[in-house]
């Protein structure tokens, strides 16, 4: 891949403007690549839609990064950098300085294998708390085996926070964490978040107004405002971009640590492209399929 070096240099340069340090944890032997450089490689791979480490290292053999890191070391260090990478993503989010009072919450399924293989699958089963499970996706009218990505984004399309749960966990439980992270805002959700008790709890605890469309058979039914329905489509577009360009539904991870790092890498890469669109190139933020060099 001829432009890998140029893309990597550009991404690393922008990351260095954000981060005050190159390394985030102690290493007894100083590696050839710093932690920030490794994050730069990771984001470069996601931007180029390089979906497997095997394919990535074939490209690295023809770049200036040849021989600087082994694949096993890259994999191990990348998993250790989950929280530093999330901090880098939050630094980019903070630069947008969005003080809006409306946010959107939604979830999407993350299948790790087909239902027929679920009983004998050993993927992500190293710890009991992270065992995958079977769940139902209402939008696709189908059952799946794996996890569920819960996310909150701004109306303009910036992921503010996200979490991963097993597929069997209902969407409404994610809101129990949201009330500790946000306050004094309006949260737009679909019918999966419809609950009078949760609405009252969010409002009393953090002054969060939960807006969801009512079911047609509910008492005192009132159609949701068109503006709310239109705004809620923004997060669905982001999920589609994660599936299309960043291939978030393709899973090659064998452990849960690897799986969650893989998901974070794709969200960080998406946020990075939005960041440079606004602060470097002065163009539309959500034009994701666009050249950065």
| Burial class (CB within 10 angstroms; exposed 0-12, middle 13-18, buried 19+) of 166 | middle
CB neighbour list of residue 142: distance below 8 Å, 6 or more residues apart: 136
In angstroms, rounded to a whole number, what is the distance separating the alpha carbons of residues 224 and 19?
42
pLDDT at 173: 87
What is the per-residue pLDDT for 226? 66
How far apart CA 152 and CA 211 sit, in angstroms, is: 14
What is the spatial distance between Cα 95 and Cα 134, in angstroms, rounded to a whole number?
Answer: 38
Phi, psi of 214 (to 5 degrees): -85, 155
Q: How many residues does the chain have?
A: 293
Spatial distance between the Cα atoms of 167 and 255, rounded to a whole number of angstroms: 16
Q: Could you tell me the maximum CA-CA distance found in the chain, to the nearest angstrom?
A: 67
Confidence (pLDDT) at 1: 47
From the CA atom positions of the chain, what is the Rg in Å?
Answer: 20
Residue 28, number of CB atoms within 10 A of its CB: 4
Full set of structural domains in the chain with CATH? 4-80 (no CATH), 100-250 (3.30.420)
| Phi, psi torsion values for 167, nearest 5 degrees | -65, -25
Which tokens is 174 given?
Answer: 């994610």
pLDDT attached to residue 232? 82
211-219 contact pairs (CB < 8 A, 24+): 211/186, 211/187, 212/188, 215/191
Read off the DSSP letter of residue 280: T
d(CA 193, CA 196): 9
- Beta carbons of 129 and 108 less than 8 angstroms apart: no
Q: What are the structure tokens assigned to 288, written together?
A: 């994701």
| Residue labelled with tokens 């070096």 | 5
**Would you write out the chain's pLDDT as a tens digit for each of its 293 residues?**
458 999 999 999 999 999 889 999 988 888 999 999 999 999 999 999 998 888 999 999 989 999 899 999 999 999 999 999 999 999 999 988 766 688 999 999 999 998 889 889 999 998 888 899 999 988 888 899 999 999 999 988 999 999 999 999 988 888 888 888 888 888 888 888 888 888 888 888 888 888 888 776 777 767 777 667 777 889 999 999 999 999 999 988 899 999 999 999 999 999 999 999 999 999 999 988 888 88
Residue 98's pLDDT is 62
Which pTM was predicted?
Answer: 0.92
Which pLDDT does position 88 carry in this prediction?
A: 95
Residue 138 DSSP label: T
Looking at residue 76, its pLDDT comes to 94
Q: Report the C-alpha gap between 185 and 181 in whole angstroms.
A: 11
């Amino acid at each position: 891949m001829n432009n890998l070096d140029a893309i990597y240099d550009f991404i690393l340069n922008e990351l260095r403007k954000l981060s005050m340090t190159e390394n985030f944890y102690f290493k007894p032997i100083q590696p050839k690549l710093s932690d920030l450089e490794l994050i730069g490689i990771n984001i470069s791979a996601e931007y180029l839609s390089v979906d497997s480490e095997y394919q990535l290292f074939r490209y690295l053999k023809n770049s200036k990064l040849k021989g600087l890191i082994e694949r096993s070391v890259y994999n191990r260090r990348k998993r250790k950098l989950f929280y530093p990478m999330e901090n880098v993503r939050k630094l980019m989010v903070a630069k947008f300085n969005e003080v809006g009072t409306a946010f959107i919450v939604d979830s999407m399924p993350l299948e790790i294998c087909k239902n027929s293989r679920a009983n004998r699958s050993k993927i992500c089963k190293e710890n009991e708390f992270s065992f995958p499970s079977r769940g139902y996706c209402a939008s696709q009218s189908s059952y799946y085996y794996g996890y569920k990505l819960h996310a909150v984004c701004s109306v303009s399309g910036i992921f503010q926070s996200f979490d991963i749960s097993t597929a069997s966990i209902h969407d409404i439980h994610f809101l129990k964490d949201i009330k500790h992270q946000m306050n004094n805002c309006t949260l737009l959700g679909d019918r999966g978040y419809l609950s009078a008790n949760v609405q009252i709890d969010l409002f009393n605890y953090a002054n969060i107004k939960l807006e969801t469309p009512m079911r047609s058979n509910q008492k005192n039914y009132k159609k949701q405002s068109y503006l709310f329905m239109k705004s809620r489509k923004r997060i669905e577009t982001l999920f589609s971009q994660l599936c299309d360009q960043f291939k978030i539904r393709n899973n090659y991870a064998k452990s849960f640590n690897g799986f969650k790092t893989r998901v974070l890498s794709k969200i960080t890469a998406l946020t990075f492209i939005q960041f440079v669109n606004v602060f470097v190139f002065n163009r539309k933020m959500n034009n994701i399929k666009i050249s950065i060099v």
